[in-house]
Copies of this chain bind each other. A is one copy, B any other.
């Protein structure tokens, strides 16, 4: 059911959707992507500050180097859950997370 949107995009051309779909994609979906990117940046920065390799971080969160690379690149196959878990594993507090999401 959620695949319908993807299908619409990957299909050849632009099947004209209604306004709701358009708004959904351009504003809400965009907001989610921005959020993911903020977390990705925050994670990379935090990891580097601690002078850890992606491999090190992977071990700390029981994941793999390749997934860490995807996390930091904002890859859409990475969940926000995983980003949050990783940040927390690097010692980020809720306030730290808040600052990462909405930098002042």
Residues of B contacting A35 in the complex (Cβ-Cβ under 8 angstroms): 84, 88, 94, 97
Residues of B contacting A62 in the complex (Cβ-Cβ under 8 angstroms): 1-2
Q: Is the interface of A mostly helix, strand, loop or mixed?
A: helix
Q: In the complex the two chains form, what is the Cα distance from A9 to B60 in whole Å?
A: 21
Segment at the interface with B among A11-19, A26-34, A45-53: A26-34
Total A residues in contact with B, Cβ cutoff 8 Å: 24
Instruction: Say if the beta carbon of A25 comes within 8 Å of chain B.
Output: no
List the interface of chain A (C-beta within 8 A of B): 1-2, 28, 31-32, 34-35, 38, 62, 79-81, 84-85, 88-89, 93-95, 97-99, 101-102
Further pairs besides A80-B84, A98-B98, A101-B101: 6, Cβ < 8 Å: A1-B62, A2-B62, A28-B88, A35-B84, A94-B102, A98-B102
